């Protein structure tokens, strides 16, 4: 990879070192790199001073989106230049492990996009590196900060449905064709499974709502629609917003799919958590609508969300009756009307406060690892005749490190 430093690294390093606050780099200037723009809003004095992307078109996006930043073509050049205290990693999933390990080893605090890694060994390597170097690690499970999840969690914490016993999630990924089947996301070697790329959010939320982690998992699924589309093309140089359209309907009429499409477009998994809670998650990438529906059943009621952004509602039924469309109690969902910009800002704030002040976090790397464990083992199960798998434990010293570094309760740091 050629050297593509737009600014004199020495000058930039000196400037970064002299600046008050925190000098931050964005690694991977693709569609998701816009979260780098939350840095200065999230924490006074923090700013993006460098961007790394291995492609020229990515570096050009970096120049446009972060005009004051130094641009690099390779992570090692950034590290060698010095002066960076934190990095936001928004590269494809299969690169997360190596990039995170390199940054952590260099003492640069890491905001790593989910999923933590594309398999359990990779996830454990990242956590072990963070524990052994002591460098702060944070994984961007922004959904914990979304209005719908906060509302559901608060209902449970107030005891309105009693003790949680079952969590069922239906995930209608209406944008799936555009989001996941037209670039690297469709390729198992880059994502492992959409049970990580997409479901790691929801598995984490299941764990959060149930206050437990998956111990045993089984999966079923198939590639049912997109595998039959033969119109394929390499979209290198484009990013998802350039091809996204609600007019791409019905799903079988989609064109320009990624040359490799070998991830499932329907995936289902069932989980037994360490506290006995029973959970299931279903994901379909060719529905007309795009949202997630959670049902949480406790010993004294159940809740269910309708819509997962502002305008939606979480309904609670906690009296005995037959079918009733209205909840016995209903809570409006706060936040943005679409997407998750509000949760993204809260997530970035949490990361920067953790790095600068050592503040505890709601999103722990252990939880991110447990989401990878459940999702990757569910995919292994569905690809091998639905055999059940048991999640292995993390080494004790890694668990102990993160139990000190993140919020001890209600987050669980050991099984």
Ligand X SMILES: NC(=O)c1ccc[n+]([C@@H]2O[C@H](COP(=O)([O-])OP(=O)(O)OC[C@H]3O[C@@H](n4cnc5c(N)ncnc54)[C@H](O)[C@@H]3O)[C@@H](O)[C@H]2O)c1
Write out the residues near ligand X by the rule CB under 6 A: 27-32, 52-55, 58, 75, 90-93, 95, 113-114, 140, 142, 183, 197, 239-240, 340
Query: With respect to ligand X, which residue has the nearer C-beta, 114 or 302?
Result: 114
| Residue whose tokens read 């880059």 | 190
* Nearest distance, CB of residue 368 and ligand X, angstroms: 11
DSSP secondary-structure letter at 45? T
* Nearest distance, CB of residue 54 and ligand X, angstroms: 4
* Nearest distance, CB of residue 72 and ligand X, angstroms: 9
Tokens of 276: 């006995």
* Nearest distance, CB of residue 126 and ligand X, angstroms: 13
The total number of residues shown for the chain amounts to 415
Query: With respect to ligand X, which residue has the nearer C-beta, 184 or 331?
Result: 184
Residue 307 main-chain phi, psi, to 5 deg = 85, 150
* Nearest distance, CB of residue 156 and ligand X, angstroms: 23
DSSP secondary-structure letter at 367? H
Beta carbons of 137 and 100 less than 8 angstroms apart:
yes
Beta carbons of 392 and 369 less than 8 angstroms apart:
no
Q: For ligand X, which residue has the nearest CB? A: 30
Query: With respect to ligand X, which residue has the nearer C-beta, 171 or 340?
Result: 340
- Tell me how crowded residue 321 is: count the other CB atoms within 10 A of its CB: 7
Query: With respect to ligand X, which residue has the nearer C-beta, 102 or 160?
Result: 102
Query: With respect to ligand X, which residue has the nearer C-beta, 240 or 310?
Result: 240
The strands making up 266-273's β-sheet, listed across from edge to edge, are 329-332, 313-317, 301-306, 290-298, 164-173, 278-284, 266-273, 214-222, 389-390
Query: With respect to ligand X, which residue has the nearer C-beta, 97 or 274?
Result: 97
* Nearest distance, CB of residue 300 and ligand X, angstroms: 33
Q: Which whole-number Å values give the CA distances from 264 to 92, 198, 224, in the listed order?
A: 18, 12, 7
Query: With respect to ligand X, which residue has the nearer C-beta, 302 or 340?
Result: 340
Which residues, listed in sequence order, are joined to residue 169 by a DSSP beta bridge? 281, 294
Tokens of 130: 């963070």
Q: Of 137, 244, 130, nearest to 180 (Cα)?
A: 244
Query: With respect to ligand X, which residue has the nearer C-beta, 150 or 340?
Result: 340
DSSP H helical segments within 168-238, as ranges? 176-180, 188-191, 194-197, 200-210
Class of residue 224 by CB neighbours under 10 A (exposed 0-12, middle 13-18, buried 19+): middle
DSSP H helical segments within 90-183, as ranges? 96-105, 120-133, 147-157, 176-180
* Nearest distance, CB of residue 355 and ligand X, angstroms: 18
* Nearest distance, CB of residue 52 and ligand X, angstroms: 5
């Amino acid at each position: 990879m050629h050297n593509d430093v737009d600014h004199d690294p020495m000058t930039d390093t000196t400037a970064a070192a002299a600046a008050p606050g925190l000098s931050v780099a964005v690694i991977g200037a693709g569609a998701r790199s816009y979260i780098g723009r939350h840095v200065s809003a999230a924490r006074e004095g923090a700013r993006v001073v460098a961007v790394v992307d291995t492609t020229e078109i990515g570096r050009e996006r970096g120049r446009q989106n972060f005009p004051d930043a130094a641009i690099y073509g390779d992570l090692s050049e950034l590290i060698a230049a010095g002066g960076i205290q934190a990095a936001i990693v928004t590269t494809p999933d299969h690169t997360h492990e190596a990039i995170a390990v390199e940054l952590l080893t260099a003492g640069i605090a890491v905001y790593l996009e989910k999923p933590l890694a594309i398999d359990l060994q990779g996830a454990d390597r990242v956590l072990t590196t963070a524990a052994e170097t002591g460098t702060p690690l944070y994984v961007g499970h922004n959904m914990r900060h979304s209005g719908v999840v906060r509302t559901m969690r608060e209902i449970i914490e107030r005891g309105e449905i009693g003790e949680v016993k079952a969590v069922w999630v239906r995930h209608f990924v209406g944008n799936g064709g555009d989001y996941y089947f037209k670039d690297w996301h469709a390729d198992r070697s880059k994502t492992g499974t959409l049970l990580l790329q997409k479901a790691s959010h929801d598995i984490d939320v299941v764990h959060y709502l149930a206050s437990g982690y998956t111990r045993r998992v089984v999966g079923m699924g198939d590639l049912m629609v997109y595998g039959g589309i033969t119109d394929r093309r390499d979209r290198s140089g484009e990013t998802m917003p350039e091809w996204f359209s609600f007019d791409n309907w019905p799903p079988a009429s989609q064109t320009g799919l990624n040359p490799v499409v070998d991830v499932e477009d329907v995936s289902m998994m069932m989980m037994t958590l360490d506290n006995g809670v029973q959970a299931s998650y279903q994901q379909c990438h060719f529905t007309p609508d795009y949202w997630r529906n959670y049902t949480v059943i406790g010993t004294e009621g159940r809740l269910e969300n309708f819509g997962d952004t502002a305008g939606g509602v979480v309904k609670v039924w906690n009296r005995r009756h037959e079918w009733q469309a209205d909840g016995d109690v209903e809570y409006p969902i706060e936040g943005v009307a679409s997407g998750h910009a509000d949760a993204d800002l809260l997530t970035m704030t949490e990361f920067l406060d953790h790095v600068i002040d050592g503040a505890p976090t709601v999103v722990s790397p252990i939880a991110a690892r447990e989401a990878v464990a459940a999702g990757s083992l569910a995919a292994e199960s569905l690809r091998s005749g639905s055999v059940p798998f048991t999640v292995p434990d993390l080494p004790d010293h890694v668990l102990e490190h993160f139990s000190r570094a993140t919020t001890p309760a209600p987050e669980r740091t050991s099984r």
